[in-house]
Amino acid sequence: MALYDKLAEALEKRDPSMYTDAFHDDYEFIRHQTGTSMDREQMVEMMKMMMANEKVVIRNARCVYEND
């Protein structure tokens, strides 16, 4: 199964562990709007909270990438 498909399945099942297991130990999420960043552990906690909250609904998920 492709990585995107695994992440999409994790979102559908609302399974934060399934989602964050794909993150490398050195994972870093950068918010380009603010210049702030979150490391892997911070993202794991955020994903747990998001997926536990029924008010969080993800619509029209898509994969965006660039070829070098």
Q: pLDDT tens, 10-59?
A: 999 999 999 999 999 999 999 999 999 999 999 999 999 999 999 999 99
In the structure encoding, which two tokens stand for residue 34, read together?
A: 């603010």
What pLDDT does 38 receive? 97
Quote the pLDDT of residue 52.
97
- Long-range contacts at 5-9 (CB < 8 A, ≥ 24 apart): 8/61
Helix (H) or strand (E) holding 57: none
> Beta partners for 39?
28
pTM above 0.85, yes or no: no
* Confidence band, pLDDT 50/70/90 cuts, at residue 61: confident
Domain ranges of the chain: 3-52
> In this structure, how many other beta carbons lie within 10 angstroms of the beta carbon of residue 42?
13
